[in-house]
Amino acid sequence: MPYSSRRATLRATLRDRELDALLVTNLLNIRYLTGFTGSNAALLVRAESDGASVFCTDGRYLTQAAEQVPDLERVVERPCDVAMAQRAAKDGARRIGFESGHVTVDALDALTEAAGSAELVRAPGLVEQLRLVKDEAEVDALRMACAAADRALATLVEHGGLREGRTEREIARELEALMLDHGASGPSFETIVATGANSAVPHHRPTDAVVRAGDFVKLDFGALVDGYHSDMTRTLVVGKAADWQRELYELVAAAQAAGRAALVVGTPVSEVDAAARSVIERAGYGEQFLHGLGHGVGLQIHEAPALSKVGGGTLLPGMAVTVEPGVYLAGKGGVRIEDTLVVRAGAPELLTLTTKELVVV
């Protein structure tokens, strides 16, 4: 993984901001910059050179840190954030950035005392801004996560896992186990299985509700591989599909196709949402599309950018996003279709490969 090149990009940002160093305390950002996966760490990134940067953890992670962060000076200390603030000040840093979105008021007091005469400067979102655009190592991990989810769903369907009489909980547990069987280290999030009228609840949690003939079954799930999350939703019908179900499904599929087609470099994210939403609004179901079109995905299941009416920014090549329109008819049933894609020059790369044709099992 290109950790040193990521830190090099961050150091250039620090120099532009006239910061001597950045104290990184968010564990996901530390993982992004170093590869460390433990539960306690802080990272001091020095603007002048990578050789001056320092990684801190505690004694539980001596071996792990040596394996995962072999290219930086390693310090064993507690608390790590205070130790790194003291280190930065001792080494002559005058302006020390910190991740203000992840630091509590009490922690800031401790950091201020540790930094002494050095100035602590709020520097929110610097690493998250880098994480917006995925490098090819990250895309490879996302691709594997999506493949694990694709294979799990295929196995579930082939082996009759979606059938009358099964409960939402039983299906969710089997789907999560199958993702592990196909290479995932775990699910990306709590798997959603919603049958019948429950499919009209966007984030329904699985219950003991039983699948019955004629039900929509909505499956929203993802696999975790190397810390990266996939996210997909498919809506199927058990038994025989009614005309209203086919019509609703075709509408959502058309909106989803419009959203995917709008993933063009330079497009404002709000316009991507509008491309899909307008299809549903023209059909008279605008009020039944209850959420944004999609979101970024990576080390977090929900991260920037937000593809929504109020989302800010434009699409950049390498962004990984979901496109997931839905129409939800309360008390009756709902449809959502979701893919994970990577924005590319030309056309987006589709990572979730399960068919989007209506599947009747």
Domain segments of the chain as ranges:
3-131, 136-350
- pLDDT of res. 133: 98
pLDDT at 85 over 80: yes
Helical spans, DSSP H, in the chain: 3-16, 27-34, 62-68, 80-90, 105-115, 126-131, 136-158, 168-181, 243-261, 269-282
Query: What is the reported pLDDT for 38?
Result: 97
Q: Both tokens of residue 161?
A: 């896992």
Give the chain's mean pLDDT.
Answer: 97
Residue 209 has a pLDDT of 98
Per DSSP, helices labelled H in 159-302 are 168-181, 243-261, 269-282
Q: Specify the CATH class of 136-350 in words.
A: alpha beta
**Tell me, what's the pLDDT at 17?**
96
Whether residue 1 has pLDDT greater than 90: no
Which percentage of the chain shows pLDDT scores above 70?
A: 100
Half-sphere exposure for 122 (CA within 13 Å, toward CB): 7
Residue 204 scores a pLDDT above 90: yes
The DSSP call for residue 205 is P
If one looks up domain 3-131 in CATH, what number appears?
3.40.350.10
pLDDT at res. 191: 98
